[in-house]
Amino acid sequence: MTRRLFSILLFWIPLQMFSQERALNSLLADSVMEHAAVSFCIIDSDSGKTVFEYNADKSLVPASILKLVTTSAALELLGPEYTFKTEIGYTGNIHKLFGLLDGNIVIKGGGDPSLGSKKFEEHYAGFADRWIDELKKLRIRRITGGVITDDSYYDYLPVPSKWLWEDAGNYYGAGAYGLSLFDNSYEIHFKTASDSSQLYITGISPAECRFEFSNWLVAAGTADRGYVFAAPYSTNGWLAGTIPSNVNDFVLNASIADPPLIMAKMMNQKFKDAGIDVATYPTTVRLMQRPLKTEVREIAETSSPPLEKIIEVLNHESVNLYAEHLVKEIGKVYKKNGATESGVSCIHEFLDLSGISTDGFFIEDGSGLSPLNAVNAKGMVSLLFYMKSRGKYFDQFYSSLPEAGKEGTLKNHFTDPVFESRMRAKSGSMTRVRSYAGYLTTLTGKNLIFCIIVNNFSGSQQKVISHIEEILKETILSE
C-alpha cells in the first residue's frame, strides 16, 4: 500500500466513524447552546451494544418522550385489547304503567380517556342517543330524581400536583377524571380587532361549558400566546396574554374544569329534548359528597376503542390527557388505587422487573408535562431495546410511533429523503426543551435505537431541531 493511499484511508476512516460526533459538536458549538445540556445515546437494536454516546447518564427534562415509558408500560401491563367501559343505569323502581322512574339515572365512569372524542368520532358516533333509545325501551317518560354522574373510579385529583399553573386551564393540560368527555376540552371563540384592543367572547362550544371568566386577553400580532387559568372543579377563572389581531373567529382551546358535571348537564338536556321529564337538577357523586349506596341497574354500556388504538393516537399526536389516564388506570388495576402516584409506582416496578435501570429517572406524571420529570438517554434507549427484544407487544408499540416526515408530530420535521421509511420516533417539546427517541435504520441496513435530549438552549427551537436532524442524518448515512 502506498503512503499516499494509506494517508487517504487514515483520513477517510475517522470521517466515517465519527460523523455523529462532528454533527453533535456543531450543535454544541452553536451560540444557542452556551448554557445548555445534552444527553445522547445510540445503541445497536439487535445486540444492545452502544454505538455512540454523550452524557448518556445525565438526567434532563424529557418533555413528551416520557410518553414512551407510559405507553410501553400500559401495553405490557394491560395488553393491546384492553378497553374502558362507561355505563348508564338507574336506581329505584320503574312503574311502566305510568312511564315513571322513581329514582335516578346514573352514568358511571370507567376511566375512558377518549369518550366522545373527535379523534374517535366514528367509534363514538351517537353513543348518547343510543343510551336514550335504551331508556325509551323501558317506556320511561318521567324521572322523579335526576341525572347523576359517578366519577369515583379515579381519585379526585385530576391534575398531577407537579404541573405548572399556566398549563392546567388549557386543552393540553386537561386533567384525567373518572368520567372524562370530549378530550376534556372546549372552545372559546373570539372576534379580534386591532392591536392592543380588548377582546370579547363570541361563543362557547359546547354551550354547557360556559364559564365565569375575568378577561385580560388583548389582540396583538399574529401569534397565539393566550392562556386560560382555571383549576379543576372550579366555577371561574381568567384569560390572559395575547391572541392574533384582526381575526373573525379565533378559537382558544381550554380544559373542561368539571367533565362529570358537564356530562350530567348534557344528558339532562338530551332527556328533556327526547320528551323525558327530569325532576331534579343534574349533579355528580363528588358534589353529593357521598357514594351511591343503592343498587344501580345497568341500561347500556359504551366501550372504548382497544388500548392499542388509543396509544397510537396518543403517541402520534402527543395527547397528554390519554397518558395521564393510562397512569391512573395502571394504578387502579394493579394497586386498586386510581391515583397518579400509584400508577407511577407501578411503572417504576415495571421498569425494575424489566431490568431497565431507573437511576436518574424522576417520574412525576405520565405525559411529560411536568418540568420536574427527568430521565437520561441511556435509560430511554434501554427501555426501547427491551420493547424490541423482549416486549410482548412490540409491533403495536412500534406502529404507534410517528414515521419521520409523514405523521403526527414528526410530519413537518425530518423531511429529508434520507429519513424516508428509516425512522420512527416520539418527539418532546416544551420551553427550552427538545427531545427525540425511537428507532433508525441506516443505509447499510443496521438497526439502531437512539435518544437525544436538549435542555436550556436559547433562541429558536427550529435551530436546535435542525442540528438534531443533521446528527441523525449522519447516523443513517455513516453507520
Q: In this structure, what CATH number is given to the domain that contains residue 110?
A: 3.50.80.20
For 352-363, give one letter per residue: b (16+ CB within 10 A) or e: eebebebebbeb
> Tell me, what's the pLDDT at 119?
97
Name the helix (H) or strand (E) containing 122.
Answer: helix 121-124
Same domain (yes/no): 99, 46: no
Same domain (yes/no): 57, 134: no
- % of the chain residues with pLDDT over 70: 96
- The three-class DSSP label of residue 429 is strand
Q: How many residues does the chain have?
A: 479
Q: Chain-centre distance of CA 206, in angstroms?
A: 22
Supply the CATH number for residue 42's domain. 3.40.710.10
Lowest-confidence pick of 12-21, 287-296, 420-429: 12-21
Confidence of residue 2 (pLDDT cuts 50, 70, 90): very low
Question: What crossing angle do the helices spanning 320-335 and 340-353 adopt, rounded to 10°?
Answer: 80
Mean pLDDT of 254-277: 96
CB half-sphere exposure, 396, CA atoms < 13 A: 22
Mean pLDDT of 180-194: 94
Domains: count for the chain:
3
Mean pLDDT of 291-300: 91
Domain residues for the domain of 250 are 165-255
> Tell me, what's the pLDDT at 109?
98
444 vs 439: CA distance, rounded Å: 15
Q: Chain-centre distance of CA 335, in angstroms?
A: 22
Question: Does the pLDDT at position 294 exceed 90?
Answer: no
Mean pLDDT of 248-252: 93
91 within a domain of the structure (yes/no): yes
176 vs 328: CA distance, rounded Å: 8
The model's pLDDT over 4-43, given as tens digits with 9 standing for 90+, comes to 433 433 343 344 446 788 999 999 999 999 999 999 999 9
* Residue 150 phi, psi dihedral angles, 5° rounding: -100, 100
Same domain (yes/no): 202, 338: no
Same domain (yes/no): 174, 191: yes
Mean pLDDT of 429-437: 97
- Specify the higher pLDDT residue, 335 or 220: 335
2 within a domain of the structure (yes/no): no
The model's pLDDT over 349-401, given as tens digits with 9 standing for 90+, comes to 999 999 998 899 999 999 999 999 999 999 999 999 999 999 999 999 999 99
Same domain (yes/no): 185, 316: no
> Tell me, what's the pLDDT at 11?
40
Same domain (yes/no): 330, 469: yes
Confidence of residue 197 (pLDDT cuts 50, 70, 90): confident
Residues sharing a CB contact under 8 Å with residue 148, sequence separation 6 or more, in sequence order: 104, 105, 106, 107, 264, 282, 283, 284, 285, 288, 292
Q: Quick check: 249 and 202 in contact, CB under 8 A?
A: yes
The model's pLDDT over 126-155, given as tens digits with 9 standing for 90+, comes to 999 999 999 999 999 999 999 999 999 999
Mean pLDDT of 313-317: 98
Question: Does the pLDDT at position 272 exceed 70?
Answer: yes
Mean pLDDT of 287-311: 94
293 within a domain of the structure (yes/no): yes
**What's the chain's average pLDDT?**
93
Same domain (yes/no): 231, 267: no
> Tell me, what's the pLDDT at 195?
76
Same domain (yes/no): 199, 249: yes
> Tell me, what's the pLDDT at 18?
60
- % of the chain residues with pLDDT over 90: 87
Boundary of a domain, candidates 255, 290, 323: 255
3 within a domain of the structure (yes/no): no
346 vs 69: CA distance, rounded Å: 12
Same domain (yes/no): 394, 376: yes
> Which of 423, 478, 477, 368 has the alpha carbon at shortest distance from 45?
423
Same domain (yes/no): 142, 91: yes
With cell 372524542, the residue in question is 117
193 vs 242: CA distance, rounded Å: 12
Same domain (yes/no): 449, 356: yes
The model's pLDDT over 44-67, given as tens digits with 9 standing for 90+, comes to 999 999 999 999 999 999 999 999
> Tell me, what's the pLDDT at 86?
98
Mean pLDDT of 55-82: 98
8 within a domain of the structure (yes/no): no
- The three-class DSSP label of residue 253 is strand
11 within a domain of the structure (yes/no): no
> Which of 57, 81, 43 has the alpha carbon at shortest distance from 360?
57
* Residue 441 phi, psi dihedral angles, 5° rounding: -125, 125
160 within a domain of the structure (yes/no): no
Same domain (yes/no): 146, 221: no
387 within a domain of the structure (yes/no): yes
